[in-house]
Amino acid sequence: MRGGIMKHFLFCGAAIIGLALQPVTAFAQEEHISGSNSLGITAPADAFPQEPGSDYFLANYTQYEAYLKLLNQQSDRMKLVNIGKTAEGRDQWMAIVSSPENLAKLDEYRDIARRLAKADGLSEDEAKALAAKGKAVVWIDAGLHATETVTTQSQIHVLYRLLSQNDPETLRELDDVIMLFPHDNPDGLQLVADWYMRKDDPKQREFGSIPRLYQKYVGHDNNRDSFMSQMPETENANRVMFREWFPQIIFNQHQTGPAGMVVFVPPFRDPFNYNYNPLVMTTLDEVGSTMHSRLVSENKPGSGKRSVAPYSTWHNGMFRSIAYFHNAVGLLTEIIGGPTPERIPLIPDTQLARNDEPMPIAPQEWHLKDSLEYQWFLNRAVLDYASRNRERLLLNIYKMGAANIRKGEQDSWTITPKDVDALKEAAGDGPPPEEEGINPWRSRGRVASSLYSELQKPENRDPRGYIIPAGQTDMPTVVAFLNALIKNGVDVEKATGSFTVEGKTYPAGSYIVKTAQAYRPHVLDMFEPQDHPHDFEYPGGPPKAPYDITGYTLAFQMGVDFDRILEGFDGPFAHVPGLIDTPAGKIEGSAGAGWLVPHTANNSFILTNRLQEAGVPVSWVMQPIDAAGRNFQPGAIWVPNSAGAQKVMASAAADLGLDAFGVATAPSADTMALTKPRIGLVDKYGGNIPAGWTRWLLEQYEFPFSIVYPQELDKGDLKDKYDVLIFADGTVPGDEDSLYRAPREADQPDPKDIPAEYRPWLGEITQDTTVPAIATFAREGGTVITVGSANRLAELIGAPVEAALYEEDGNQRKILDRREFYIPGSLVTAHVDNSQPLAFGMPDTVDLFFANSQSFQAKGNGAAPVSWFDTATPLHSGWALGQERLKDTVAVFDTDLGDGKIFMMGPEITQRAQPYATFKFLFNGLFYGPASAED
C-alpha cells in the first residue's frame, strides 16, 4: 500500500540465518495445485497458458474471469456474482464460496448477518439465537493495487483449493463460513498483466514502466476513496460490505513486505481512532496473532507486526480501515514477491527474533509461488479463525452495534487528546496525591480522581444527532455528502414536515443523521473534527509520520452546514431507503431579458459548460446586485434569453438542482463575458494521481480539456492551443533547495523499450526548457494554475509571490524543521475574499486541506490575496505543530504576469476530489483567467 506504481521495487525482502536455514518450499501440497481431483475441478495449471504463480507469468483479468466462470460451472461450492461495472466498463466479479447447503440458503444467512450488524430492534437473546443459527461472513479481496501481483495470482489458487479439497479443515470452514472473494480492480489487472507479458523474452518482462495509472483516474488512491465512494469499484465494494453482506472480517491483501522480511501481518501500531468500539481492536489482535501463529506452525518464517511497518488504524479512507468504523475486523497484509524472481537479502537487524519479528528468515532466492504459499496459509488462518469463532463473531458485531445505539441514545463522551490535555492542565503542576500503599512508580502521572469530571463536561457530550437544514446554498453538494454516508450503510432520515429542536425550527426536506445507530463511529468520524494524538519518535524528537493523513472530516471538506444536537430529539422523520436524487431546482419569474443564477452551487459550473457548448453567451455579474426580489452576491451568472438558453435552463433546473430567476432587464452592474476555455491538464508518464483526480473532477463538471505532457510544453507556442494550464500537486519536480514538498518520482523507461504510442508521454518539466515556455504562455495572456507542490513552478516563471514558510540558514532559505512546523494532512480554516472572481460563490471562511503544503507572501505588485490565514490557531481537524506560523500568510493568490494570470493554490484544493467546498478556486480560475485576458 505504500507508494505508487514503483512501490513494488522500493522494499527488498528479508533475511536471517538462525531459524530457517533451508529455503522455504513453495506449493507444499502440490497435488492440490495442479492435476486431477475427485470433484472434477479444473486446476489452474490446466486453465491458463501458464500456471499462475510461475516465474515470468501474470494471468490477466480476461483469463481470470474465464476461470471464475469455469469454476462456477464445475463446483457446487461457489456462486459467481457481478457486483457492478468498473471505471472502464468491465464486470467486477465476486465469488461466494461456502458449502452447497449454505449456498442454497444465502438469502437467509445474509439477512441474519444484516440484522446482527445493524442491531436495531434486536434483543440480546434474539441476537444469540441468530448467531447460533448464522454463518460467519468473511471478505477476502485481491488486486486493489494492480502492480501488487501476488494477491490476484494467489486468489486463483485459493479458490481452486477451497473448491477441490476434502480435508476436514476445508469442509469445516465451508460449513461455518460464507466467503466473499471479490476482485477490487479488474481494469488494473488487465493493464498490468498485459504490460508485463508484452515482451517475448521472459527475462525482459517488467511492469515498473507502466504508462498510466492502474485505476483509470486515481491509481493507488483507489484505496483512499472508501468514505467517499466516488470510484465505481469502491462504491460496488462498499455496497457489498455495508449494505448487503455485512462481513465480520474484511481482509484486504497488499504488497510489498517490510525490508528484511516476507510479510507484514497485524496487529498494527498506534494510534487507533478513538471513535470505534474497542472490541474491534482486541478482535483484530486475536486474528492477527492467529495468522502469525499459522505461518510459524507451517514453518513459514519472516512475518512481522506493529513496529516493522508504519500502518496505523486512524484514517477512514482505506478498504481495511473503514471496516473498523463498521464494527468489523479489518486486516491488511503486505507481502513480497512478483513474477520476476528476486532475492531476500541479509539485513542484520532482522536476525534477532523479537515480539514484532517472531521467526526471522534466511537469505534466499524468492519466487512468486513462494508468496502464494504464504498467502494460502494466511487465508487459511483467517478462515479457520472465523470457523472456530463463528458464533462469537456474529454475536460480537451485534454487541458493538447495540452498544453504539445505546451511546447515541444517552449522554456519552468520546475522550480525545485535547480532553486529556485539558485534564492535565486542570491538575496543574503539583505533586500527585499521596495514597497509602501505592508504590512511587505507580504514582507517576496520577491526578486527583475528582478531576474525572473534567472529561465529562456537559458541553462536551457527543451529539445525539445532526440536522442538515434544507435550503442550503448548494443542496446538490449536500446530497453528495449524504449519499457518501448512505453508500457506507449509514441510516439517514428526511423530515416530511417542519419541526422544532432546541428552539430552532427546521423546514420540511431537512435531513437528519442520528448517532443511535450501529455505524455510529462512522457518523461521528464524518461530522466531528479529528483530534490526532501528538505522536513523536521520542520525547523532544521529530513527529512520527502518520499513516496517510490525520484530518479529513467530510462535512467540513464539503462545506455542509449542520447543527449538532446534544439532547434526544424526534420529529416527522422518514427513513431514506436508498441513494438520494439531486432535488430539482426551480425557475422563477419571467425571463424577459434573461436569467440570474447564484454562483454558490458547484453545479452552476456544469450549467455554464452546457450553455457554452450550446453556443449561449454567459457572463458573471461582478458586483452584488438586487434583482428578482433577492440579493445576489458577486459572481451571479447572467444568461441572456434565447431559444437555445431556454432549453438548457429548463434542463439544468431539473437535472442539476439549480434555481434560476428571470428578470425583465439585464443587470446594470459590470459583467464579465466568459469565453469557452481551452484547458490543458498537465500529466506525466506513469500517471500523476492528483492530476487523475482533477481529470475525474473536470469530467464530472463537464469541462472540456486535453491532457498535456512535458514534451508538448517544451515545444512552446502554447497560447495557440490553450487558454489555461493546470499543474496539479506532484506534477513539477522538486530539487534539494526547494521550499516545496518534493513529489515522489519514478524513473522513466528508455523510449525504445515502450510502444511508440506512449513515447510522447515521456519527459519531465525542466527549468531550462519548460519553465521559459510556460512563462511565455502566461505573459502572452495564458492562465497558469498551480496546486500544492506545483507552486514551485509559479515562482520559477516569475509570479510576484514567494514562499512564506521557511527558516533562514545564513543567506539560504530552508524548509522548516518538522519539529517546528508539521501539518501532515489536516483541515485548516482560512478567510476568503469572495468579492474576488477566484472566490466567487464561496463563503467568508473555508476549510482547506493542508498536507505539509506551502503558504505565501507577496513580493511585488500584481499579487492579490484571495484566501489567507487570519488566526494563529487555524487547525480545525487533524494534527498541526507550529500552526501559528500560518498567521498572516496567504493560501491562495491571484497574480498577474504580463497579459496573463497565475493562480497559486498552496493547499490541495481538489485533494482526492473530497473538498467540494474549495473546488470553486479551480473552477472559477478556469473561466476567470481567460475572460480577464479577453478584457
The 3-class SS string of 120-174 reads CCCCHHHHHHHHHHCCEEEEECECCCCCCCHHHHHHHHHHHHHHHCCCHHHHHHH
Residue range 824-831: average pLDDT?
Answer: 98
- How far apart (Å, rounded) are the C-alpha atoms in residues 680 and 610? 19
Span of 503-512, 600-609, 697-706, 729-738 with lowest mean pLDDT: 729-738
Under 8 Å between Cβ of 266 and 332? yes
Please provide the DSSP assignment of 381-438 as one string.
HHHHHHHHTHHHHHHHHHHHHHHHHHHHHS------HHHHHHHHHHH-SSPPPP-TT-
> pLDDT value at position 37?
74
807 phi and psi, to 5 degrees?
-125, 150
CB 153 within 8 A of CB 193: no
What is residue 13's predicted lDDT score, i.e. its pLDDT?
Answer: 32
756 contacts: CB under 8 Å, gap ≥ 6:
none
Q: What is the mean pLDDT of residues 596-613?
A: 98
* Whether the predicted pLDDT of 33 surpasses 50: no
Least confident among 11-25, 516-530, 532-546, 690-704 = 11-25
pLDDT of 23 reads 34
> If DSSP codes are grouped into helix, strand and coil, which group holds residue 322?
helix
DSSP 32: G
Share of the chain above pLDDT 70, in %: 94
pLDDT in tens, 296-352: 999 999 999 999 999 999 999 999 999 999 999 999 999 999 999 999 999 999 999
Grid cell digits, residue 106: 444465502
- How large is the average pLDDT for residues 254-262? 93
Angle at which helix 689-700 crosses helix 919-934, to 10 degrees, equals 70
Residue 21 has pLDDT above 60, yes or no: no
Give the pLDDT confidence score for residue 561 in this predicted structure: 98
Residue 646 identity (one-letter amino acid): Q
User: What share of the chain has pLDDT > 90, as a percent?
Assistant: 89
Average pLDDT over residues 379-405: 98
What residue type is 746 in one-letter code?
A
Cell of 96: 461466494
Sign for the pseudo-dihedral over CA of 38, 41, 42, 43: negative
List residues bridging with 504 in a β-sheet.
Answer: 501
Spell out the residues 6+ positions from residue 201 whose beta carbon is closer than 8 angstroms to its own. none
Q: What angle do CA 147, 153, 155 make, to 5 degrees?
A: 120
Other beta carbons within 10 angstroms of residue 260's beta carbon come to 26
Report the C-alpha dihedral over residues 651, 654, 655, 660, rounded to 10 degrees.
80
User: Is pLDDT above 90 for 810?
Assistant: no
Residue whose C-alpha cell reads 463473531 in the numeric block = 393
State the pLDDT at residue 877. Answer: 98
The residue among 811 and 892 whose pLDDT is bigger is 892
Per-residue pLDDT, averaged over 510-539, amounts to 97
**Residue 8: pLDDT band by 50, 70, 90 thresholds?**
very low
Which pLDDT value is given to residue 253?
97
CA angle (425, 430, 436) in 5-degree steps = 120
H helices of 588-676, where? Answer: 604-613, 643-656
Work out the number of other CB atoms within 10 angstroms of the CB of residue 583: 13
Residue 106: predicted pLDDT? 98
Residue 28 has a pLDDT of: 36
Least confident range from 129-133, 539-543, 679-683: namely: 539-543
Which residues 6+ apart lie within 8 Å of 507 measured at CB?
Answer: 469, 470, 471, 495, 498
Q: Which is higher by pLDDT, 644 or 31? A: 644
Question: How does residue 735 score in pLDDT terms, banded at 50, 70 and 90?
Answer: confident
Q: Answer for the pair 689, 218: CB distance below 8 angstroms, yes or no.
A: yes
**904 has which bridge partners?**
786, 893
* Distances, alpha carbon 711 to alpha carbons 322, 685, 704, 766, in Å: 41, 11, 21, 10
The amino acid at 510? S
> Which residue is associated with the grid cell 497565475?
902
**Could you tell me the pLDDT band of residue 32, with boundaries at 50, 70 and 90?**
very low
Cα–Cα distance list, 429 to 434, 435, 542, 701 (Å): 15, 18, 25, 56
Decide if pLDDT at 1 tops 50: no
Q: What is the pLDDT of residues 527-581, one digit of tens each?
A: 999 999 999 999 999 999 999 999 999 999 999 999 999 999 999 999 999 999 9
Whether the pLDDT of residue 443 is over 70: the answer is no
Question: 60 to each of 52, 187, 889, 930, how far by Cα in Å?
Answer: 10, 9, 51, 45
Other beta carbons less than 10 A from residue 734's beta carbon: 15
Mean pLDDT of 32-45: 73
> Across residues 261-280, what is the average pLDDT?
97
- Collect all residues with Cβ–Cβ distance below 8 Å to 633 and sequence separation of at least 6: 598, 599, 600, 624, 834, 840, 841
Residue 540 and residue 598: Cα distance in Å, rounded? Answer: 51
pLDDT band at 430 (very low <50, low <70, confident <90, very high): low
Domains of the chain plus CATH, in order, are 5-404 (3.40.630.10), 460-575 (no CATH), 587-673 (no CATH), 679-934 (3.40.50.880)
- Residue 65 has which C-alpha cell? 474471469
226 vs 417: CA distance, rounded Å: 25
CA atoms of 398 and 122, how far apart (whole Å):
9
Report d(CA 83, CA 237) in Å as an integer.
8
Compute the radius of gyration of the chain from its Cα atoms. Answer: 29
pLDDT confidence of residue 531: 98
The predicted pLDDT at position 933 comes to 80
Rounded to 5 degrees, what angle do the CA atoms 882, 887, 888 make? 150
Q: Say whether pLDDT at 31 is over 80.
A: no
The answer to whether residue 618 scores a pLDDT higher than 50 is: yes
Residue 862 has pLDDT above 70, yes or no: yes
**φ, ψ for residue 521 (rounded to 5)?**
-55, -40
Nearest C-alpha neighbor of 916 from the set 492, 317, 476, 319: 476
The residue type found at 679 is: I
- Statement: residue 18 has pLDDT above 90: no
What is the reported pLDDT for 7? 35
Q: Provide φ and ψ at 761, rounded to 5°.
A: -80, -15
DSSP string, 921-934: HHHHHHHHHHHHHH
pLDDT at 437: 53
Mean pLDDT of the chain: 93
Q: How far apart are the first and last CA of the chain?
A: 49
Closest by Cα among 790, 689, 686 to 732: 790
Which residues share a beta bridge with 620? 637, 672
pLDDT at 747: 86
